[in-house]
Chain A
């Protein structure tokens, strides 16, 4: 087990190095001169020259990469030139917001998707089934930003129940936090609920027609228990995997929703940074995300290895 772990960790180092080159290189392919964007309206040549120097823009690509890498290895992701804040602090500020948003969204998605999937499988071919399908199709095909604006118009402007946009930290006021998060989380969760509903439905249909369910029914088990205890449990396995996968997409999918609801999260941070050519922020955020994915994968692999000894040998 020990050697397996060491081997897996050793593999991470070249992977991360490759990823860092990729991030840095792709960024250079972006058209536009970051110094000119950051120089603002006046485009003062002295300011542009100063910015170029600060960002090492006049140095060749490999040198710039090494400058950056040296900082990263010292735990310094650089500083946002636009906001004059360390990238590390920005990430620490924004990440919890997006994680909270994604968590609420996934809860909403599960709460809607799984019951809807179960109902439409059990009541297959009835109005319930068609109704759930129509709702799912609607959820899948509605653009996030449009739904967001419609919800704002309904719940904030017309009814006045929820704040139209913005963010309050849960430490400040958890009720206000929830009020601010519920609409964006619903918008995000809605699309995933549709996916989950479709998958739950087909998994349930498959399980419901299997032999052990027939046996359970033949034993005289109540239909409610057949569905919830026997069928759903087995059908849930692929759904949980799917939910976990969707959670990853949620973190990146939050980009548009955060823009509409002005949630100061990870998505908004990276979009603003790209448009303002705030290189240090883009690099830092992407590197952080990539590292997080790689580490999560490592944890999953190790977990598999613990569960299944055959993996350790190969």
Chain B
């Protein structure tokens, strides 16, 4: 009897709870996003909010294919220097204004010219935008640029309401007006961001929530506690060590996605004089020995509790652009020792700089232990992130554990890192033939040809080792079992559209 009453009460409680919160989805974020202006925004976590707030010309699917979003189709010109985009009809911004070719032209030009724009570099080859007719725009490029569609599938492709943007100027981020499934309601800094359903959204049948509330909760334990106590419906970036706990609890679901970014060790091979003073930066054989001393599976097990895919390139082995001709090298301590002997440094010593985050420090410790077996003496230098970034940029390091959140097009994972004098080239790597291949990979649209070029790049770069790639993390999402229709897209951005409570 008692049992039955309890069952009944539980059922009633569940129904009440479901009824009360059916319309709101509460998402726990790992950080507080920066400014919510697509042109100025610079954080990964901000892109999660944008995924519900601002639609883009294109999006990517779970296989990283480019699919139209605000666009309905596109066509490249014969010389690949002009991209004509057909726009979806009947789309309006959250302020009721029409989303048309003029708005697209305005937004792209805003990305290109606004002071402090973070999109300018992404759209560098874009020379001008023509309004062909209200539903068609033509993007004229200074040179063919194959990653353009992928750029337009991210913040550079977000279209904002020209009227609202003109009125707000550089304060647009305080009240962004876009054409996404949800419109901006309020933001309390460091506390919450509230969005509500936009009634005239072009794809409104796919939107099943009235409100989305984003709550930044930096501590992963507290974030999970909020999910377990029912204050949140969804948490992103679950700690790998908490996966067994979530799996064993029938109330929750878990989604794992292999990221499009990577974790690796950047080696100073030419950023400053330090490179020549240290055998690791000076001699490729020493770097090869370091890589051979490492067991990537072991690193993934210890540093990430197994929640990552081992990898040796800027894209994961499952990616279409992974160069199969350069597979993951197996650990070989004997060969590593022989290489060190050949290089004339049996016991090379170097300092490995890491940020103070948990996984970076664990990687450093495992690398230290593994490399010691081959004869390396690794000193770990834990440095607060802002400081480490500055030191990396000034070349005041020998090796640096540094992750990259990744971009849909492989170009976004390698060009700025390996082309001469690029902003993210902390290694100081510069080789004319690699530069040439990288530039060619940007100008051809042919998939097979691009793959071939990336294989050629891999053959050179993976021998020079400005970066020793280690693994590709899993995006770990935990959410209530009531939630259905969660799309697992490798960029790690939560898409509320399509998701619903059972």
Binding site for B on A (CB under 8 A): 31-34, 36-47, 50-51, 54, 82-85, 90, 93, 149, 152-153, 156-157, 160, 163-167, 259-262, 264, 268-269, 272, 275-277
Q: Is the CB of A160 within 8 A of B120?
A: no
Q: Is the CB of B222 within 8 A of A164?
A: yes
Is B387's beta carbon under 8 Å from chain A?
Answer: yes
For chain B, the bracket of interface size reads 35 or more
Is B446's beta carbon under 8 Å from chain A?
Answer: no
**Of the residues B41, B226, B386, contact of A277 by C-beta under 8 Å:** B386
The winner among A85, A165, A276 for most chain B CB atoms within 10 A is A165
Q: Is the CB of A84 within 8 A of B35?
A: yes
Is B218's beta carbon under 8 Å from chain A?
Answer: yes
Q: Is the CB of B424 within 8 A of A43?
A: yes
Binding site for A on B (CB under 8 A): 32, 34-35, 37, 41-44, 115-118, 120-122, 170-171, 173-174, 188-192, 215-219, 221-222, 225-226, 228-231, 384-387, 389-391, 393, 404-405, 416, 423-424
Given A32-B384, A82-B35: A149 and B221 within 8 A (CB)?
Answer: yes
Q: Is the CB of A83 within 8 A of B222?
A: no
Q: Which residue of A lies closest to B40 (CB)?
A: A84
What are 18 pairs between A and B in contact, CB < 8 Å?
A34-B386, A36-B386, A41-B405, A42-B121, A51-B116, A83-B189, A93-B188, A93-B189, A157-B228, A157-B229, A164-B228, A165-B226, A260-B222, A262-B216, A262-B218, A264-B190, A275-B384, A275-B385
Chain B residues with CB under 8 A of A164: 222, 225-226, 228-229, 231
Chain B residues with CB under 8 A of A152: 221-222, 225, 229
A31 and B385 alpha carbons, distance in the complex (Å):
10
Q: How far is the CB of B465 from chain A (nearest CB, A)?
A: 22
**Of the residues B44, B191, B424, contact of A166 by C-beta under 8 Å:** B191
Given A41-B405, A149-B221, A165-B222: A160 and B189 within 8 A (CB)?
Answer: no
Q: Which residue of A lies closest to B227 (CB)?
A: A164
Q: Is the CB of A40 within 8 A of B216?
A: no
A43 and B120 alpha carbons, distance in the complex (Å):
12
Q: Is the CB of A36 within 8 A of B390?
A: yes
Given A43-B423, A157-B228: A50 and B189 within 8 A (CB)?
Answer: no
Q: Is the CB of A44 within 8 A of B222?
A: no
Q: How far is the CB of B189 from chain A (nearest CB, A)?
A: 5
A39 and B174 alpha carbons, distance in the complex (Å):
18
The winner among B32, B191, B192 for most chain A CB atoms within 10 A is B191
Q: Is the CB of A33 within 8 A of B189?
A: no
A84 and B391 alpha carbons, distance in the complex (Å):
27
User: Closest 4 CB pairs between A and B?
Assistant: A40-B42, A32-B386, A156-B229, A264-B191
